Amino acid sequence: MSQQYYEPKDLQDFPNITEYAPEPGKKFFEYYAQATQAGLLTEREKALIALAVATVRHCPYCIDAYTNKCLSLGVSSDEMMEAVHVGAAMTAGDVLAHATQVRKIIKKKEM
Amino acid sequence: MDAAQQRRHLSQIPGGQSFEQKLQRPLLAEDIQILQLNVGKACNLACKHCHVSAGPGRSEQMGREVFVTCLKILRRHAIGTIDVTGGAPEMNPHLPWFIAEAAKLKRRLMVRSNLAILHEEAFRHFIDLYADHQVEIITSLPHYHAQQTDRQRGSGVFAKVIDMMRVLNAKGYGRPGSNLLLHLVFNPVGAYLPGPQAALAHEYQQRLSQEHGVVFNQLFCLTNFPVGRYLEYLIRTENYEEYMSTLMAAFNWTAVQGVMCRTLLSVGWDGKLYDCDFNQMLELPVDHGAPSHIDIFEFDQLKSRQIVVANHCYACTAGAGSSCQGAIE
Ligand code: SF4
Ligand code: SF4
Q: Which residue of A has its CA nearest to B148?
A: A76
Residue B150 sits at the chain A interface (C-beta within 8 Å): no
Residue A104 lies in a domain: yes
Residue A67 lies in a domain: yes
Which residue in A63, A64, A43 sits closest to A54, CA to CA?
A: A63
Domain that includes residue A76, residue range: 41-110
Tens digits of residue pLDDT in A55-84: 999 999 999 999 999 999 999 999 999 999
Residue A71 lies in a domain: yes
Alpha carbon of B316: minimum distance to chain A alpha carbons (Å)? 16
Tell if the CB–CB gap between B245 and A72 is shorter than 8 Å.
no
Nearest ligand by distance to the CA of B256 = 2
Tell if the CB–CB gap between B147 and A73 is shorter than 8 Å.
no
Do A37 and A45 touch, CB atoms closer than 8 A?
Answer: no
Q: Which residue of B has its CA nearest to A42?
A: B199
Q: Chain-centre distance of CA B307, in angstroms?
A: 18
With H, G, I as helix, E, B as strand and everything else as coil, classify residue B47. Answer: coil
Q: What is the DSSP letter of B226?
A: S
The pLDDT of residue B329 is: 47
What CA–CA distances, in Å, run from B279 to A62, B16, B272, B286? Answer: 36, 21, 11, 9
Q: Which residue of B has its CA nearest to A65?
A: B192
Alpha carbon of B278: minimum distance to chain A alpha carbons (Å)? 22
Closest C-alpha to ligand 1, atom 2: B87
Tell if the CB–CB gap between A74 and B143 is shorter than 8 Å.
yes
CA of B52 from ligand 2 middle (Å) equals 15
Domain CATH number, residue A93: 1.20.1290.10
Name chain A contacts of B199, Cβ cutoff 8 Å: 38, 42-44, 73
Q: How many domains does chain A have?
A: 1
Residue A19 lies in a domain: no
pLDDT tens, chain B, 329 aa long: 999 999 999 999 988 799 999 999 999 999 999 999 999 999 999 998 899 999 999 999 999 999 999 999 999 999 999 999 999 999 999 999 999 999 999 999 999 999 999 999 999 999 999 999 999 999 999 999 999 899 999 999 999 999 999 999 999 999 999 999 999 999 998 999 998 888 899 999 999 999 999 999 999 999 999 999 999 999 999 999 999 999 999 999 999 999 999 999 999 999 999 999 999 999 999 999 999 999 999 999 999 999 999 999 999 999 766 555 555 54
- Count Cβ–Cβ pairs < 8 Å, chain A vs chain B: 38
Residue A64 lies in a domain: yes
The pLDDT of residue A2 is: 58
CA of A4 from ligand 2 middle (Å) equals 37
Residue A30 lies in a domain: no
Range B74-81, long-range pairs (CB < 8 A, 24+ positions): B74/B35, B74/B102, B74/B105, B74/B107, B75/B105, B76/B299, B77/B32, B77/B299, B79/B32, B79/B33, B79/B34, B79/B35, B79/B107, B80/B33, B80/B34, B80/B107, B80/B108, B81/B33, B81/B34, B81/B35, B81/B107, B81/B108, B81/B109, B81/B110
CA of B87 from ligand 1 middle (Å) equals 6
Nearest ligand by distance to the CA of B284 = 2
**Does the ipTM surpass 0.90?**
no
Cα–Cα distance, B296 to B273 (Å, whole number): 10
Closest C-alpha to ligand 1, atom 1: B50
pTM score? 0.88
Domains within chain B, CATH numbers bracketed: 3-315 (3.20.20.70)
CB atoms within 10 A of CB B320: 22
B88 touches ligand 1 (CB under 6 Å) = yes
CA of B212 from ligand 2 middle (Å) equals 35
Residue A23 lies in a domain: no
Which residue in B322, B319, B292 sits closest to B308, CA to CA?
A: B292
Residue B193 sits at the chain A interface (C-beta within 8 Å): yes
Residue A83 lies in a domain: yes
Q: Which residue of A has its CA nearest to B145?
A: A76
